[in-house]
């Protein structure tokens, strides 16, 4: 019983580790584009490939690394291991990824696609196929966002609108967040390629066939430098990422400028409403001021004026006339202090004299330079 209790925790831990051990759904491509599917545990897979456990870790990052004559490429959800003989795609169960794997990747690896590396070793075709897929993925995201953002901005920047549609602003906010995520992804992709371009040793390590096949090595030393071909390949996709990032930045600048225009339009409409409110307030003040006369006559006090039938029309006329005059004076005061001042008037004499003075200064400076040159010439002679 003692031995049973001693060995029981060990057997339980081994069973737990076996059940927790991840299983990869792997799609394998060879040089001819033939495809095979299988499932294998992570421990068995990295032992067969001669890698370590951290090389096949689940990480949604963008990275390109070499380990033991193997290329490990991570493009977020796309994880691949490249060898001189085959390509492994790990965890391919994604709708868009399966469509690309079944319809495009096999033909590209067999040299039937439009890749420029069809005459180079297998790892060149595999790297270019994956980079092309990822850059097209980023370009597709930008092509989806661009018309939506332009349509939303066109609806928001209309100067005829007195108010802004909140639904359009919500759509613009969501598209702005998606654009920021796209900019981040493109920057990470570009920086990943740039780090490889800055390291010559890493570029050499990416050329797997150069070190495994002696014939390929002799061809590379005789005139075909595969390291230069790899560098040109990476520079091509670095330039595409840079162009894509510039398009995203232009779209971001357009959003910022449109936001400024929207705020300016809202401020102008707000100023119009505030000015109208101020005018109505001044009109109410002027009417209330002369309304005191009507209040005085409405008191329960007797005088000789209420007996004359013409007094009512006289007092009413004075009230409206006085209110109108005060309101007019207040509006003129408001206009003098709110309207922008006119530019100062420049007399015609000054306008004519300024170019002449400039010509005199230019002539004097030219004379000074000529005199200085003549003196230097005489001195040299």
Give residue-wise pLDDT tens across range 82-98.
998 899 988 777 657 77
Measure the CA–CA gap between 91 and 81, rounded to whole angstroms: 12
What is the phi/psi pair of residue 186, to 5°?
-65, -40
- The CATH fold assigned to 21-111 is Lipocalin (2.40.128)
pLDDT at 49 over 50: yes
* Three-class SS state of 68: coil
Q: Tell me, what's the pLDDT at 185? A: 93
Measure the CA–CA gap between 207 and 217, rounded to whole angstroms: 10
> Averaged over 339-348, what is the pLDDT?
54
Looking at the chain, the whole-number percentage of residues with pLDDT higher than 70 is 72
Strands 78-82, 35-41: pairing is unpaired
What is the phi/psi pair of residue 343, to 5°?
-65, 150
Residue-wise pLDDT for 12-45, tens only, equals 444 444 444 578 888 899 888 888 888 888 888 8
pLDDT at 341 over 70: no
Residue-averaged pLDDT of the chain? 75
Q: Tell me, what's the pLDDT at 364? A: 44
Q: In what order do the strands lie in the sheet with 86-90?
A: 35-41, 23-30, 86-90, 78-82, 70-75, 62-67
Strand intervals (E) in 34-138: 35-41, 62-67, 70-75, 78-82, 86-90
Cα angle, residue 283 at apex, residues 282 and 288 outer, rounded to 5°: 95
3-state helix, strand, coil in the chain (%, to 5): 70, 10, 20
What is the CATH code for 115-273? Answer: 1.20.58.340
pTM > 0.85: no
Measure the CA–CA gap between 261 and 259, rounded to whole angstroms: 5
Residues in contact with 95: Cβ distance below 8 Å, sequence separation at least 6, in sequence order: none
Where are the chain's structural domains? 21-111, 115-273
* Residue 369 pLDDT class (50, 70, 90 cuts): very low
Supply the DSSP symbol for 56.
G
Q: Is the dihedral of CA 235, 237, 241, 247 positive or negative?
A: positive
pLDDT greater at residue 326 or residue 343: 326
Residue-wise pLDDT for 234-263, tens only, equals 999 999 999 999 999 999 998 888 877 777
Q: How many helices (H) and strands (E) does the chain have?
A: 12, 6
User: Other CB atoms closer than 10 Å to residue 41's CB: what's the count?
Assistant: 13
> Averaged over 281-305, what is the pLDDT?
73
Measure the CA–CA gap between 217 and 54, rounded to whole angstroms: 31
pLDDT at 284 over 50: yes
């Amino acid at each position: 019983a003692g031995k049973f209790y001693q060995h029981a925790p060990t057997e339980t831990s081994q069973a737990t580790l076996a059940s927790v051990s991840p299983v990869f759904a792997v799609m394998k491509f060879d040089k001819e584009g033939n495809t095979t599917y299988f499932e294998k545990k992570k421990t068995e897979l990295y032992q067969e490939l001669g890698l370590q456990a951290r090389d096949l870790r689940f990480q949604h990052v963008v990275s390109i690394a070499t380990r033991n004559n193997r290329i490990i490429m991570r493009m977020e959800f796309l994880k691949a291991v490249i060898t001189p003989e085959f390509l492994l795609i790990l965890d391919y169960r994604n709708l868009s990824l399966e469509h690309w794997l079944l319809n495009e990747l096999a033909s590209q690896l067999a040299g039937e696609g439009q890749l420029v590396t069809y005459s180079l070793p297998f790892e060149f075709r595999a790297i270019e196929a994956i980079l092309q897929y990822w850059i097209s993925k980023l370009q597709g995201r930008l092509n989806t966002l661009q018309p939506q953002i332009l349509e939303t901005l066109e609806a928001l920047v209309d100067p005829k609108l007195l108010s802004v549609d909140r639904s359009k602003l919500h759509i613009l906010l969501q598209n702005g967040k998606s654009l920021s995520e796209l900019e981040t992804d493109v920057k990470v992709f570009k920086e990943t390629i740039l780090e490889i371009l800055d390291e010559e040793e890493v570029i050499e390590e990416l050329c797997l066939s150069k070190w495994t096949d002696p014939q390929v090595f002799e061809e590379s030393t005789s005139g075909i430098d595969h390291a230069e071909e790899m560098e040109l390949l990476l520079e091509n996709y670095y330039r595409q990422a840079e162009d894509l990032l510039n398009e995203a930045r232009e779209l971001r600048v357009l959003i910022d400028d449109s936001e400024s225009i929207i705020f300016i339009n809202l401020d102008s409409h707000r100023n119009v409403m505030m000015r109208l409110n101020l005018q109505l307030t001044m009109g109410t003040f002027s009417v209330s001021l002369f309304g005191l006369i009507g209040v005085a006559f409405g008191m329960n006090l007797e005088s000789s004026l209420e007996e004359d039938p013409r007094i009512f029309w006289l007092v009413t006329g004075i009230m409206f006339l006085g209110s109108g005059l005060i309101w007019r004076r207040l509006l003129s005061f408001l206009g003098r202090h709110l309207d922008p001042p006119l530019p100062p008037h420049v007399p015609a004499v000054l306008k004519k004299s300024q170019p002449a003075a400039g010509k005199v200064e230019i002539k004097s400076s030219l004379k000074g330079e000529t005199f200085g040159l003549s003196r230097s010439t005489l001195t040299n002679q």
